[in-house]
A and B are shown apart, each in its own frame.
Chain A
Amino acid sequence: MSVKESWEPKIIGFCCNWCSYAGADLAGTSRMNYPASIRVIRVPCSGRVNPQFIARAFQLGADGVLVAGCHPGDCHYSTGNYFTRRRMLLLTRFLEYLGVDPDRFEVRWISGSEGQKFADTVREFTERVRALGPSPKKRDAS
């Protein structure tokens, strides 16, 4: 087994500027602790998240991908996340169908005041991914 023994899960997170990114900021200002597994990419709206970005993350060996947006109905751009919801419903099933372990892909609605929820999400997601081990892409590459 030639993957680094010291493997730590790496999660790519897409966070919308108005809700989930703000929620993540709040987790920071509240000094909540969570594992250093997540790398956040800021987007204006979760509706900006193209499934191809998610696929690219998995293709490049991300152990997990998180898409976090505003609660449906609360989108800063009024309807963006309704489209995200439809797309993600389809995507979760499709990724699973293609053999991606469903525990590696997470979609959550996190508002700007839900710092705790952001921290909890990262914590729980990291543990689930850790249990699954490194991404199959990494395993194949080594």
Chain B
Amino acid sequence: MSGMNQVTDRLRERVRELLADGKIHTFIGYERAWDPYRPIPFFATEAGEAERLIIDELCVPSTPKYMLDFFGREGVVGLLVKGCDSLAVERLLRDHRVERESMYIIGVACTGLLDRDKVKARALEEGWGAVEEVRREGDAFVLVTAAGEKELGPEYLMERCRTCEVKVPTVYDELLGEEVAATAEPRDFAEVAEIEAMTPAERRAYWERQFSRCIRCFACRNVCPACNCRICVFEERVPRWLGRKTDVGEQEMFHFTRALHVAGRCVDCGECDRVCPVNIPLRKLNRKLMKDIGELFGIEKPFMPAETEPLGQFRPDDPDEFE
């Protein structure tokens, strides 16, 4: 397996060309910034800035949602997408929140991203200093750090990447690098089953504990590609869907509502979980709904955006457990 950094030069070359030719006015990619273990989204607007672009297994944040900022603007925006990002793009397209013609998508195949928290923790503990390159060698990741080359095993893969079937982006205008075989662990929703096995009282206690930490920063909503409404229901004062009080009841209402609004449209990118500053296991909410939707309505891949989403259709012979 080769790492994504293999295409860095080609990426910079292409972006340079696209910006110089005026085909795009902005390119959204990644750059290594003040925390080299956490590359951040970077908006290149001039051909010269293409040099700053990088792409490797530490480039985790999902960027397609930035397209909402360009809604209604003239011109084309270039976008670098990995598999999970392409599902986000599809989500935005199907929700009519972005137009295909306003994007120029450069896709790159990805065999899995690094868990940045885990890597950073190890780096700090062992004093690795900065990292300047990330390679893939077989199953392992090789980080070129100030303290030399460090190898990390597959256990440093992000949890969500283990079950990812979208190794190659599903939508792109050009693909950099080679296609990769789609191998993935089966989605067994084990973490959901764990909670399903609890008693009602245990579940209530569990979720109260999780939700009590919520500070309503809305990071989960902000990063989610399915949460793309112009005016979010939680900003509305009329009607008062959500109170402003910071009590567990309101936090619960927020997460309950967001999970249901996203149900059937979630692309399982796991960004919500990753960005939560207080580590609420948000994926356990979305994946519960995803699992049920898949089982109840016979949808093999409930995370794949489709023509009509599951709650916008029905079959007369849908399961019915109500008398």
Contact = CB atoms under 8 A, between A and B. Distances in A.
Q: Report A-B touching, CB under 8 Å.
A: yes
A88 to B, nearest CB: 7
Nearest to B199: A99
Nearest to A110: B323
Interface string A1-45: 000000000000000000000000000000000000000000000
B34 interface: no
Contact of A56 (B200, B253, B289): B253
Given A99-B205, A108-B322, A55 B257 contact: yes
A93 interface: yes
Contacts of A87: 311
Interface string B205-223: 1111000000000000000
A99 B285 CA distance: 12
B311 A136 contact: no
Given A83-B311, A86-B314, A99-B204, A109 B249 contact: no
Contacts of A101: 200
Contacts, number: 91
Contacts of A88: 322
A95 to B, nearest CB: 8
Give chain B's interface secondary structure class.
Answer: helix
Interface stretch (B62-70, B150-158, B290-298): B290-298
Interface residues of B, number: 38
A137 to B, nearest CB: 7
A44 to B, nearest CB: 18
Contacts of A100: 200, 204
B252 A52 contact: no
B241 A52 contact: yes
A110 to B, nearest CB: 9
Interface of A: 51-52, 55-56, 59, 72-73, 79, 82-83, 85-94, 96-102, 107-109, 136-137
26 contacts: A55-B256, A55-B257, A59-B249, A59-B252, A72-B320, A73-B316, A82-B314, A85-B322, A87-B311, A88-B322, A89-B321, A90-B292, A91-B260, A92-B321, A94-B289, A96-B203, A97-B195, A97-B288, A98-B203, A99-B202, A99-B207, A99-B208, A108-B322, A108-B323, A136-B204, A137-B249
